[in-house]
Amino acid sequence: MTSTLTETNLDKQLILWRRDFHQHAESGFLEMRTASIVAAYLTQLGYPLKVASEVMKEDARMGVPSKEVLDNHYKWAQENGANLDWLPKFAGGMTGIVATLETGKPGPTTAFRVDMDALDIQEDLSVEHIPFKDGYASVNANMMHACGHDGHTAIGLGLATLIMENKESLVGTIKLIFQPAEEGTRGAKSMVEAGVVDDVDYFIATHLGTGIPSGSFVAGKAGYLATTKMDVTFKGFASHAGGKPEAGRNALAAAAAAVLGIYGIPRHSAGASRINVGVLQAGSGRNIIASSAFLKLETRGETTEINEFIQGQALAVLEGAAKMYQVEVNVDVVGGALNSVPSEELVERVATCAKSNPAFTEVIDWSRGAAGSEDATYFMNRVMELGGQATYCVVGCDIAAGHHNERFDIDESSLRIGVDALYRVAVELNS
């Protein structure tokens, strides 16, 4: 396609992009095909790019897949439509991209962030599910865009198109950040530590849906909970459960005791807190003292301080259970996010832009209820710490099933609405 699109063609292209990314879903740090296509199109538009280690601190990534998984997925991307000129730059899971337009005219630096990753969910493959019925369900087993990030990536490309086509009317600098591994809150920290937003005056992150219907818009989403994601391994010693039980060191018993202890952690008086063990795997046979056990757990808090309290209590429980059963315990932090409150002045400006958009019948200045966690908060807090302003917006979008559900699907008309909403913000801030 050419670098200039008519309005009608852009509407169609957004849907084509979204469906292509949906069909080729790639989970965190595996977005190699997606990133290669994004980078190729942005280059075609004329954007200078920084990618991979230029915009990510490698050792600040959390929850990175094994080398074997990364290598196998690279081969898959080669065989499934990746741009082969760009693909090698994204090997090893370094899949971040930043496109920058410098207008050459004095003005602020504004950054827009979209995320690219899918979830580790098997998509529903029945005719009741529109992506399957219409032929664009995920071809990757156990990977699915069940949260709308395929739409976010398409919106990012559409926004890039409008900005470049109208660059002569803009001032300052605009950055477009395509982030990997938002799911599990794993990817933003590595980009923040690489300095991606250290020069940013205004930062805007965006999401489709999240309970907001089509035709509505949220200018400032607050209430995301700080979180820590942990993988825990208990290592004991196997022995015959009947013949010599005293010789064993029971990792399963330690893990079970830890789970019960974790659910007994007191809440914090300063605000909401959460803790959950989502996975417990242990043992190999009924007559064997289990030598290993594995947990996946997460903590959350209304503030970073509350989350740190719950995390600290969880670590104490894990260590206590290990000592009680004389086993070893290892805790690996594989994801995390902070809490953040958007900048009031920027929220007001973004809301004013949305209210001028006839596509929105309702504009909500602030939405403060807790709704999971988001690692865009790393970007937001960094920008605000350095004197800038930041917000998190929601473009309303009717969905077929809840987020992170195997039948998740979006109202595709929201794609163009989202592009237009963000472009109006770019014009407001950089004109």
Per-domain boundaries in the chain: 7-224+340-429, 226-337
Q: How far apart are CA 416 and CA 38, in angstroms?
A: 18
Strand residues in 78-197 grouped as ranges (E): 97-102, 109-115, 173-179
Distance (Å) of CA 220 to CA 212, 342, 395: 13, 6, 11
Q: Supply angle C-alpha 115, 374, 55, rounded to 5.
A: 45
Q: Going by C-beta distance under 8 Å and a sequence separation of 6 or more, which residues neighbour residue 87? A: 32, 33, 36, 74, 77, 78
* Structure confidence by residue, pLDDT tens digits, 303-316: 999 999 999 999 99
Does residue 282 or residue 372 have the better pLDDT? 282
Fold: same for 7-224+340-429 and 226-337: no
Q: What are phi and psi of 54, to 5 degrees?
A: -75, -20
Residue 349, pLDDT > 70, answer yes
* Structure confidence by residue, pLDDT tens digits, 244-300: 999 999 999 999 999 999 999 998 999 999 999 999 999 999 999 999 999 999 999
DSSP letter for 267, please: P
The per-residue pLDDT for 223 is 87
Q: Supply angle C-alpha 430, 213, 393, rounded to 5.
A: 30
CATH code matching the domain that covers 7-224+340-429, chosen among 3.40.50.300, 3.40.630.10, 3.90.420.10, 3.40.50.10860: 3.40.630.10
29 token code pair? 């740090």
- C-alpha closest to that of 86 among 57, 112, 52: 52
The per-residue pLDDT for 372 is 85
What's the order of all strands across the beta sheet hosting 389-395?
A: 49-51, 97-102, 173-179, 109-115, 202-208, 389-395, 216-221, 362-367
The per-residue pLDDT for 6 is 63
The per-residue pLDDT for 368 is 85
Q: What are phi and psi of 28, to 5 degrees?
A: -50, 130
DSSP per residue over 148-166, as a string? SHHHHHHHHHHHHHHHHHT
- C-alpha closest to that of 400 among 151, 107, 141: 151
Residue 16, pLDDT > 60, answer yes
Residues 364, 216: contact at Cβ < 8 Å?
Answer: yes
Residue 139, pLDDT > 50, answer yes
SS (H, E, C) 201-258: CEEEEEEECCCCCCCEEEEEECCCCEEEEEEEEEECECCECCCCHHHCECHHHHHHHH
* Structure confidence by residue, pLDDT tens digits, 211-242: 999 999 999 999 899 999 999 999 999 999 99
CATH code matching the domain that covers 226-337, chosen among 1.10.1270.20, 3.30.70.360, 3.40.50.300, 3.30.420.40: 3.30.70.360
